[in-house]
């Protein structure tokens, strides 16, 4: 009987079981990383089968009655430190949630995800939403079913939001995006009334190999440990982690768009630094996982925007960049370069949007996802709905599906509820960076000198080591003294773009 064993022995059993589950899940992650980087075209069918098999195994291990009994017993013990108690509480919460998923549903979701991903790739090659629509429709049906399995209060979308940002609701996000519309729209109008900076030099020819070398250099300078990671090329940039000692990033390169690779490297580098900063001794346990997708996104957006698009950052890097691409940049002053990389202008592609209009891209996806889940929007009219939203909020209309409804990979992965974390992450990032500027003496001078160790050390101390011990808002309050406040982002934006 479990009750006859000492707590330490029970906890060691729990840890071993959780790490076994993590081993299976990270094996899936390796296969998924390979699927998006090196998998040959004919490998898709069996790769989907392999991932489905492992997903079913992981689900069976995590919903086994013996694990449930172990968690319930440990949750009744009081002779553990706060970290172990939190691990047990969070694992029990995850266990009870996963018990709601029938094995058949897990298998079908895995099969559908693999098929949808490859359909999305094919649809992009053919520039045809019709190729992807049947797969997306099935995915939406499964996500609706998932909301019923999980249960929810209020809008069914809340069940999916909670998977990425614990405690987030449509009520909360409706207010967040109301702030975006009411506060950012006037700022955008003021910016639109000013002369438009010239950015044509950013779209000259930039050699692929030189861009690649630059991206690797920027990642290393940030503190990304290349002995514990690597960078590759993929259709959509992403970060994946198999442990804090193996965290990989991807980028994409457009030889006629300097910004495409540069900021995807810095963005994904921010994600990777967070994963590399999680405690390795908590591998497989909740305290070894990121606090939330919103906090994860705060790390990428902090590096990408607060650091990587700052004047101070390029005061250090621009001379070397001019030397790397003299034919394009030798005669472009730093201030002109800085204005160009921060050009605020409505655009079609979310990942290439400026940091103000970006949140309208996210808002559009949020509104669409709510409609898909509650049934008010069908996948058969999704292209038309997408285009209408873009015309309404950004005054642009996609000329084709690649620049419109097919631009994001998320729905092929079944990641409904993910998009809002991008905006939340930007707002957390502004608040965290404002706190860092107060707490790290000379931080702006560090950035201007190409020194990032003090900032990374601050993040390592205040954000990275806690795993899931705190919810997003609890962590924000611990770090900054207050819960998330949109006012910090607005102040940052007004000061930068005034």
Residue 200: count other Cβ atoms within 10 Å of its Cβ.
7
> What gap in Å lies between CA 477 and CA 426, rounded to an integer?
16
Q: 32: which 2 tokens?
A: 């998924």
Give the full edge-to-edge strand order of the sheet including 229-233.
Answer: 229-233, 246-251, 239-243
Long-range contacts of 245-248 (CB under 8 A, 24+ apart): 245/276, 245/280, 247/272, 247/275, 247/276, 248/33, 248/272
Non-local CB neighbours of 203 within 8 Å, separated by 6+ positions: 256, 257, 258
Instruction: Examine the residue annotation and report whether 268 is marked as an active-site residue of this protein.
Output: yes
Q: Which one of the listed residues 36, 133, 268, 304 is annotated catalytic? A: 268
Instruction: Dump the DSSP string for 48-92.
Output: HHHHHHHHHHHHHHHT-HHHHHHHHHHHT---S-HHHHHHHHHHH
> What gap in Å lies between CA 104 and CA 109, rounded to an integer?
9
> What gap in Å lies between CA 48 and CA 54, rounded to an integer?
10
Catalytic residue positions, numbered:
268
């Amino acid at each position: 009987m479990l009750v006859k064993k000492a707590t330490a022995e029970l906890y060691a059993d729990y840890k071993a079981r959780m790490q076994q589950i993590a081993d299976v899940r990270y094996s899936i992650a390796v296969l998924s990383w390979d699927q998006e980087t090196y998998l040959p075209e004919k490998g898709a069918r069996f790769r989907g089968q392999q991932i489905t098999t492992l997903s079913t195994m992981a689900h069976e291990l995590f919903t086994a009655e013996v694990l449930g009994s172990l968690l319930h017993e440990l949750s009744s013990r009081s002779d553990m430190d706060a970290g172990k108690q939190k691990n047990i509480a969070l694992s029990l919460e995850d266990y009870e949630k996963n018990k709601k998923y029938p094995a058949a549903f897990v298998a079908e979701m895995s099969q559908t995800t693999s098929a949808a991903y490859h359909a999305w790739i094919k649809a992009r090659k053919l520039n045809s939403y019709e190729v992807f629509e049947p797969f997306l429709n099935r995915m939406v049906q499964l996500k609706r079913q998932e909301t019923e399995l999980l249960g929810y209060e209020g809008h069914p979308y809340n069940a999916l939001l909670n998977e990425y940002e614990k405690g987030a609701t449509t009520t909360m996000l409706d207010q967040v995006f109301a702030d975006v519309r009411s506060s950012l729209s006037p700022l955008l109008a003021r910016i639109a009334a000013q002369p438009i900076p010239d950015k044509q030099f950013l779209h000259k020819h930039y050699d692929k190999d030189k861009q690649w070398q630059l991206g690797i250099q920027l990642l290393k300078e940030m503190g990304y440990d290349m002995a514990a990671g690597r960078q590759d090329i993929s259709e959509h940039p992403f970060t994946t982690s198999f442990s804090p000692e193996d965290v990989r990033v991807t980028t994409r390169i457009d030889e006629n768009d300097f910004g495409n690779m540069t900021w995807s490297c810095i963005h994904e580098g921010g994600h990777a630094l967070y994963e590399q900063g999680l405690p390795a001794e908590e591998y497989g346990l909740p305290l070894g996982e990121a606090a939330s997708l919103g906090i994860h996104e705060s790390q990428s957006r902090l590096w990408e925007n607060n650091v990587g698009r700052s004047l101070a950052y390029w005061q250090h890097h621009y001379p070397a960049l001019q030397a790397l691409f003299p034919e394009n940049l030798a005669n472009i002053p730093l201030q002109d370069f800085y204005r160009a990389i921060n050009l605020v202008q409505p655009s079609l592609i979310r990942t290439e949007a400026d940091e103000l209009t970006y949140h309208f891209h996210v808002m559009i996806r949020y509104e669409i996802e709510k409609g898909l889940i509650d049934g008010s929007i069908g996948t058969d009219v999704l292209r038309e709905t997408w285009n209408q939203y873009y015309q309404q909020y950004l005054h642009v209309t996609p000329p084709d599906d690649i620049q419109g409804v097919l631009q994001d990979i998320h729905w092929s992965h079944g990641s409904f509820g993910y998009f809002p974390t991008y905006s939340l992450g930007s707002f957390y990032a502004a608040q965290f960076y404002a706190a860092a500027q107060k707490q790290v003496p000379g931080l702006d001078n560090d950035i201007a000198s190409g020194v990032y160790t003090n900032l990374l050390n601050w993040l390592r101390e205040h954000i990275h080591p806690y795993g899931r011990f705190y919810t997003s808002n609890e962590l924000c309050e611990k770090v900054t003294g207050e819960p998330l406040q949109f006012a910090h982002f607005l102040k940052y934006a007004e000061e930068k773009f005034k």
